């Protein structure tokens, strides 16, 4: 039913309201007479408008809850429809509509119940419940107060639960989140895999350097005995060898200290379309354009290009609202490639906030003289430098952010052909 209500705004709630009119209209008519029809129509209307016009639904069920007391009637069965309207409102309304709807439903319901208890004389009754003493009125009031809050809270909770399940669990959006998590994990693991390969090469260099230093030291020991004048030169050679070995050890230490996860996969350019689909599911308009003839690159070079795009999209998701348009251009030209990623996040945010002024002269000035900085941006620059590339970051006032990465000699890192 909730999927039906979600996909069609008017038809489902109209059908439900007609059914409610028949069931509750006849029931209240038989119990208290024709005067109940006014409140019943108001509450049935709140059901009909709960999906397409939430504010009108809130107004109708607020009026419908109070109407029986204004007409000196007992509580009507149709007042249960206010709870159903709240359930639909909790599922499909905005955050403000949900909060106001819940608060008004509880407040008006408690007001109506207090009014009933106060105006009902000691010894009176409603729906067969007799109140012979003042204490019995207090008991009924307490029970009604707790029930009012509990019933409305449960309606609100189940509305949120149902819309969450039908929107996220097992849906394309849910799969998009999973795809992004998988991509993030793959990226971390692949990055460490590449670092382990470099560490192995550095380790081989270290072994060679230490072996050469030991050989020089052993030869110097015998040479110094026969000709002491060669000792300074021998010590200088040993010092140079130790210095180089120390530099390699420092490099290896820095390399292994960056991440502590073992890699299992190596994502590349072939995996970008899945990431684009995931971010479209998140609500971002990702537009991908390919210009020129792409080269077949080795895994390390593809990983760097993939990481630039992935990190840029992640920054966009964290700092811009849904609805932001993202343009991603891969421009291949001979031995070079340029990757340009542009978004209109600031323009989208201003449009959502109905900003009239757009952007100020101060923002223009800051965009010209201030360079974007941050740990993620520095990491992207370091990765690009590994393949003789450079990255520039820029902010267009009133529009958004731009990332431009250029690799003039990317052809050097073509995949080896067997």
User: Over its length of 418 residues, how does the chain's per-residue pLDDT go in tens digits?
Assistant: 656 666 677 788 888 888 988 998 899 888 888 888 998 899 899 888 988 888 999 999 889 888 888 888 877 888 888 888 888 888 888 888 888 988 888 888 888 878 877 777 777 666 666 776 777 777 877 887 888 888 888 888 888 888 877 766 666 666 776 777 777 777 777 767 766 777 777 677 777 777 777 777 777 777 777 777 777 777 777 777 777 776 667 666 665 655 444 444 567 888 898 889 888 888 899 999 999 999 988 888 888 899 899 999 999 999 899 899 999 999 999 899 999 999 999 888 888 775 444 555 565 555 555 555 555 677 778 888 888 899 998 888 888 999 999 999 999 888 766 5
pLDDT at 260: 45
C-beta neighbour count of 415 within 10 angstroms: 12
Q: Which residues contact 102 (CB under 8 A, 6 or more apart)?
A: 86, 90, 152, 153, 156
Q: In what order do the strands lie in the sheet with 325-333?
A: 285-291, 325-333, 336-343, 400-407, 390-396
- Cα dihedral angle (44, 48, 50, 56), rounded to 10 degrees? -80
- Residues 149, 213 share a domain: no
- Residues 246, 288 share a domain: no
Are 126 and 113 a contacting pair, CB within 8 Å? Answer: no
Token representation of residue 103? 């608060």
Residue 199 domain-assigned?
yes
pLDDT at 339: 96
Are 97 and 55 a contacting pair, CB within 8 Å? Answer: yes
pLDDT at 234: 72
Last residue of a domain, one of 231, 256, 281: 256
Strand partners for 342: 327, 402
- Residues 221, 366 share a domain: no
8-state DSSP, 414: B
pLDDT at 308: 92
Structural domain of 235: 191-256
- Residues 251, 273 share a domain: no
Domain count along the chain: 3
- Residues 332, 209 share a domain: no
| CA–CA gap between residue 248 and residue 246 (Å, rounded) | 5
- Residues 195, 319 share a domain: no
H or E element in which residue 223 lies: helix 172-226
C-beta neighbour count of 151 within 10 angstroms: 17
The model's pLDDT over 296-345, given as tens digits with 9 standing for 90+, comes to 888 888 888 998 999 999 999 998 998 999 999 999 998 999 999 999 99
- Residues 315, 375 share a domain: yes
- Residues 234, 277 share a domain: no
CA angle, corner 36, sides to 31 and 41, nearest 5?
Answer: 130
| CA–CA gap between residue 232 and residue 238 (Å, rounded) | 10
Last residue of a domain, one of 167, 199, 228: 167
Residue 180 domain-assigned?
no
Strand partners for 332: 337
- Residues 122, 59 share a domain: yes
Residue 97 domain-assigned?
yes
Query: b/e map of 206-218 (b: 16 or more CB within 10 Å)?
Result: beebbebbeebee
pLDDT at 286: 92
pLDDT at 338: 95
| CA–CA gap between residue 282 and residue 103 (Å, rounded) | 31
Structural Rg of the chain based on CA atoms? 36
Strand partners for 206: none
- Residues 289, 196 share a domain: no
C-beta neighbour count of 267 within 10 angstroms: 24
Q: Domain containing 310 — which CATH number?
A: 3.30.565.10
pLDDT at 356: 44
Are 208 and 261 a contacting pair, CB within 8 Å? Answer: no
Residue 183 domain-assigned?
no
| CA–CA gap between residue 368 and residue 362 (Å, rounded) | 10
Residue 264 domain-assigned?
no
- Residues 249, 143 share a domain: no
Residue 221 domain-assigned?
yes
| CA–CA gap between residue 139 and residue 34 (Å, rounded) | 31
Token representation of residue 101? 């709807």
- Residues 140, 28 share a domain: yes
Are 401 and 316 a contacting pair, CB within 8 Å? Answer: yes
Residue 201 domain-assigned?
yes
pLDDT at 128: 65
pLDDT at 141: 78
Query: Residue 381 to residues 101, 136, 184, 321: CA-CA distances in angstroms?
Result: 50, 75, 19, 26
Last residue of a domain, one of 167, 182, 208: 167
List own/partner pairs for 142-147 with CB under 8 A and 24 or more apart. Answer: 144/113, 144/117, 145/110, 145/113
Residue 178 domain-assigned?
no
Strand partners for 361: none
């Amino acid at each position: 039913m909730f999927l039906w209500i979600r996909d069609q705004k008017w038809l489902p709630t109209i059908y439900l309201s007609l059914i409610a009119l028949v069931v509750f209209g006849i029931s209240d008519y038989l119990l208290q007479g024709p005067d109940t029809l006014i409140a019943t129509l108001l509450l049935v209307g709140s059901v009909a408008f709960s999906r397409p016009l939430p504010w009108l639904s809130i107004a109708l069920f607020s009026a419908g809850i109070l109407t029986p007391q204004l007409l000196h009637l007992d509580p009507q069965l149709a007042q249960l429809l206010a709870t159903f309207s709240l359930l639909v409102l909790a599922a499909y309304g905005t955050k403000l509509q949900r909060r106001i709807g819940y608060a008004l439903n509880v407040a008006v319901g408690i007001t109506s119940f207090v009014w009933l208890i106060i105006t009902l004389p000691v010894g009176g009754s409603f729906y067969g419940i007799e109140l012979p003493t003042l204490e019995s009125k207090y008991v009924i009031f307490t029970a009604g107060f707790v029930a009012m809050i509990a019933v409305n809270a449960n309606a609100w909770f189940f509305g949120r639960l149902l819309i969450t399940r039908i929107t996220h669990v097992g849906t394309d959006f849910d799969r998009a989140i999973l795809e992004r998590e998988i991509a993030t994990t793959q990226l971390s693991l692949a990055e460490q895999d590449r670092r382990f390969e470099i560490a192995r090469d550095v380790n081989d260099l270290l072994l060679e350097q230490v072996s050469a230093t030991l050989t020089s030291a052993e030869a110097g020991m015998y040479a110094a005995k026969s000709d002491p004048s060669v000792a300074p030169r021998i010590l200088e050679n040993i010092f140079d060898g130790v210095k180089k070995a120390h530099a390699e050890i420092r490099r290896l230490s820095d390399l292994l200290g960056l991440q502590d996860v073992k890699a299992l996969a190596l994502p590349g350019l072939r995996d970008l379309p899945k990431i684009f689909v995931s971010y479209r599911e998140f609500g971002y308009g990702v537009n991908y354009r390919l210009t020129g003839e792409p080269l077949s690159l080795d895994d390390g070079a593809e990983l760097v290009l993939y990481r630039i795009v992935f990190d840029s999209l992640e920054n966009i998701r964290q700092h811009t609202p849904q609805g932001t348009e993202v343009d991603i251009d891969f421009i291949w030209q001979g031995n070079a490639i340029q990757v340009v990623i542009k978004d209109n996040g600031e323009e989208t945010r201003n449009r959502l906030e109905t900003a009239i002024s757009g952007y100020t002269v101060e923002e223009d000035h800051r965009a010209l003289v201030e360079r974007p900085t941050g740990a993620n941006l520095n990491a992207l620059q370091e990765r690009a430098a590994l393949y003789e590339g450079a990255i520039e970051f820029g902010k267009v006032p009133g529009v958004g952010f731009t990332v431009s990465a250029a690799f003039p000699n990317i052809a050097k890192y073509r995949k080896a052909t067997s």
